[in-house]
Amino acid sequence: FWMMAAPGKVAAFRLPPLPTIGEIIKLFRLRAQKQLSQNFLLDLRLTDKIVRQAGELTNAHVCEVGPGPGGITRSILNADVAQLLLVEKDARFIPGLKMLSKAAPGKVDIVHGDILTYNMEKAFPKHLKKNWEDEPPNIHIIGNLPFSVSTPLIVKWLENVSKRDGPFFYGRTQMTLTFQKEVGERLTAKTGGRQRSRLSIMSQHLCSVENCFIIPGQAFVPQPQVDVAVVHFTPLVQPKIQQPFKLVEKVVQSVFQFRRKYCCRGIEILFPERERLKKTEELMMAADVDPTLRPVQLSMSHFRNLCNVYRKMCDEDPSLFAYNYREELRQKRLPKNTSYSEQIEEEEEEKNQ
């Protein structure tokens, strides 16, 4: 059977001759919009390479996020997928995508909508659903994401992984996505690495994350000022931290709030001022974490211990999880005779002046 999946296998389906992506851009007068951080990838050898990172796609169901003029779309279709769902927010690209749809009858569904709000639980046939412990379903998400949406989108999907809903309603759906090179480095950074960050912990505690290859910026039109990383995610059967997403996120965000200081400085802001030092010391000791380690030096097991102990403290004091350090800071800064709403109005006026 391995022969069938060997590189260079001739796919059963091939797109008929079509205008090039460059010709499509001219035909429909498409221009990348800077405010939407759009960049087109015209080199079909590179789009083929991205699609290969997703794995064997023969008869797979694929959702492509933000297909734009359709470069990656062509490579996905040439991989002989069973069905391709295209979710595109920008109406200017829809006519070109419809042309591709006609060239692959019955294989393409186009949704004009925002992937951040699109209900992925209805995107694929229910019979594809697998148990979480099983092999991943034959479903893939692929996308050359605009830089402006890539980080909020992956954070949203990581929360979906944690809850096993959205695209992960069907099981451990795999994702192959592009990010700015620096974001790709953060997603995969190891303990002690310069790029170790909130994204490193949140992604690696829920997924196996692989930085596949780098695409130079000059391969895109218009050329971005940064290179682009192609990153592959496979959700883990068991998360490395067995706590709710929001709790893990709060602990990790707090620690990295002061990334140049000792990790205890970030832990402090989990607690109200009146009991801050006592509770921080209690948490660090119970979690067996050296308070003089820097945030980038904390391993996944350190974060697991911190989250587990913080959860126990929250269970003992339910008001603790709702505590917000920034809110307490704002309240302290309020003039004594000024209400909070009045203060906010004053701040807004100052911004607009």
Q: Angle, nearest 10°, between helix axes 245-256 and 300-316?
A: 110
Burial (CB count <10 Å: 0-12, 13-18, 19+), residue 156: middle
Identify the three-state secondary structure at position 150: helix
Q: Output the DSSP codes for 78-118.
A: HTT-SEEEEEES-GGGHHHHHHHHHHSTTTEEEEES-TTT-
Angle made by CA atoms 51, 66, 154, in degrees to the nearest 5: 80
Q: Looking at this protein, which amino acid is placed at residue 335? A: P
Residues 112/91, Cβ–Cβ less than 8 Å:
yes
Indicate the DSSP class of residue 299: -
Q: How far is CA 111 from the centre of its chain?
A: 20
The half-sphere exposure of 269 on its side-chain side, counting CA atoms within 13 A, is 19
Strand blocks (E) in the chain: 40-41, 61-65, 83-88, 108-112, 139-143, 174-180, 207-215, 220-221, 228-235
- The two structure tokens encoding residue 338: 């000024």
- Cite the annotated binding site by residue number: 39, 41, 66, 88, 114, 144
Look at residue 212 and give its three-state secondary structure: strand
The sign of the CA dihedral 252, 254, 258, 262 is negative
First CA to last CA across the chain, in angstroms?
69
Feature table: binding site for S-adenosyl-L-methionine: 39, 41, 66, 88, 114, 144
Contacts of 303 (CB under 8 A, 6+ apart): 201, 205, 241, 248, 251, 252, 255
CA separation for the pair 253, 110 (Å, rounded): 37
The amino acid that residue 33 corresponds to is Q
Tokens of 27: 């035909």
